[in-house]
Amino acid sequence: MGNENVLDDVFDNFVNRVNLFKDREVLRHDYIPDKLPHRENQIRLLGERVAPVLKDARCSNIFIYGKTGTGKTAVTKYVLSHLEAKAKQYGAQVKFCYVNCHVTGSVYRVFAHLSQSVGMSIPFTGLSVEEVFDRFRVSLDTSRVLFIIVLDEIDALIKEKGDAFMYELTRINETLVKSKVSIIGISNDLRLKEFLDPRVFSSLSEEELVFRPYDASELRNILLERSKLSFQEGTLTDSALSICSALAAAEHGDARRALDLLRVAGEVAERQEAKSITEVHVQQAEKHIEHDRVVDALNNLTLHSKLVLLSVYHLNKSSATTGEIYDVYNELCGEFGVGILTQRRLGSLVTELDAMGLVNAKVVSKGRYGRTKKIRLEISRTLVRDVFDADGRFNRIMDYKVCASKKSVLNNKSS
DNA sequence: TGTCCACTGGAACGTACGGCTT
DNA sequence: AAGCCGTACGTTCCAGTGGACA
């Protein structure tokens, strides 16, 4: 019953407190505003490129480059939804399908998604990729449309699964009779060209568009526009706005990050029942976002990745080698009562942890004493402790004392 | 100058699983 | 039910390597 009272207070406070937000949805990154400041040029260019579909002609394939949070996705969705509306007006059969390749995860699922958008439902497993592609092709052709496929974060999929599927896709028009396809590829990586078959590349980038990062003053304008819609008037201080844009500008002009910061700063301020959002709230928001990201990443690790991370934690050195970590990992597995993975596999897991920013792993050569990775924890020890303490399974090994194996002792001497 | 360490990291393959088609 | 599929996760094999040391 104590719990009930607490919750009652929480809810009452929430409802009665001063409201800083007018509409917090506006600050989410999937929100597409009516106005995209500093992207007028790109909007116009992309508009010109896709306009031919209004006259029943296929538009060129387009390749869009730019780092995260430079407005590629927003501009593309903005232009294409306007195009669709305009097409209705002119009676042109135009349709577009947006797929985020990174989120979707595999070639199979990308084709399944495309199929669904032309009214063909596909089971989530069981078919071959060729079969799914074929079904997509057939149902697309029967639907008689000018179909624009937007493949966002296409670099992620190509790097992981190769570009064979892109070859199929770029040649699809040769087998279509009643429909036509144009492809818009969006990549965060400017070097994607290196990973692509030249035939695919030339076909895909009939046109190219590059999105430069926003600078601090541009980010400031973007935030200002959005804040007018999202916050009550006079609740956002100038200094908060400036620091948000400065922080995001320092991180390659990422508008998405700037919007996140602003939204979380608003939430922090509201929780503290402040009357306005200040610089301090933004700084707290930054810590908050990072904290949440790490906790989330830690909780979602697989058991063995957790054990590897705990090995780094237990070794508690400024930099440990792969071999040392493997020894500790073996001990922990024994203590935990699970089978051990090979050192090769552990190497891959360390690489993954590095990519997530949970550890820092650098390949170094120690000359006569071989080549290895130097690995250290990249997050605070207390945070690791907190997260794993919350999971009862790890109680026994959280206070485990590492026995230094002979091998590790030898390594220590040499380094 | 060549040797040799302690790995790295690519590639091919194996296994378990859920789920399809026929 | 048989045969095939994609996905996730793992193993096995092995060529390659930066640089301290003899």
Closest CA to A322 of A371, A263, A279: A371
* The pLDDT value given to residue A346: 97
pLDDT at res. A83: 97
For strand B, the positions having any atom within 7 A of a protein Cβ are 3-11, 18-21
pLDDT at A410: 35
What pLDDT is stored for residue A334 in this prediction? 93
Q: Is the CB of A362 under 7 A from strand C?
A: no
Measured distance CA(A253)–CA(A244) in Å, rounded: 11
For A134-181, how does the pLDDT look when each residue is reduced to its tens digit (9 = 90+)?
999 999 999 999 999 999 999 888 888 888 889 889 999 999 999 999
Instruction: Name the nearest CA neighbour of A160 among A99, A104, A198.
Output: A104
Question: Any idea which nucleotide's C1' is nearest the CA of A110?
Answer: C6
pLDDT of res. A115 = 94
Cα–Cα dist A360/A379, whole Å:
9
Q: How far is the CA of A353 from the C1' of B15 (A)?
A: 25
DSSP, res A391: S
CA of A125 vs C1' of C7, distance in Å? 9
Asked whether residue A371's C-beta has any atom of DNA/RNA strand C within 7 A, the reply is: yes
pLDDT tens track, chain A, 415 positions? 578 888 888 888 777 777 889 998 999 888 999 999 999 999 999 999 999 999 999 999 999 999 999 999 999 999 999 999 999 999 999 999 999 998 898 999 999 999 999 988 888 888 889 999 999 999 999 999 999 999 999 988 888 888 888 988 999 999 999 999 999 999 998 878 777 888 888 888 889 999 999 999 999 999 999 999 999 999 999 999 999 999 999 988 999 999 999 999 999 999 998 989 999 999 999 999 999 999 999 999 999 999 999 999 999 999 999 999 999 999 999 999 999 999 999 999 999 999 999 999 999 999 999 999 999 999 999 999 999 999 888 998 998 888 755 444 333 333 3
Beta-carbon contacts of residue A350 (< 8 Å; ≥ 6 apart): A308, A322, A325, A359, A361, A373, A375
d(CA A63, CA A200): 11
Residue closest to sugar C1' of C18 by CA:
A365
Residues 327-346 of chain A in contact with strand C via CB under 7 angstroms: 340-342, 344-345
pLDDT of residue A367: 93
Question: Nearest nucleotide to A411 by CA–C1' distance?
Answer: B6
Predicted local confidence at residue A164, as pLDDT: 84
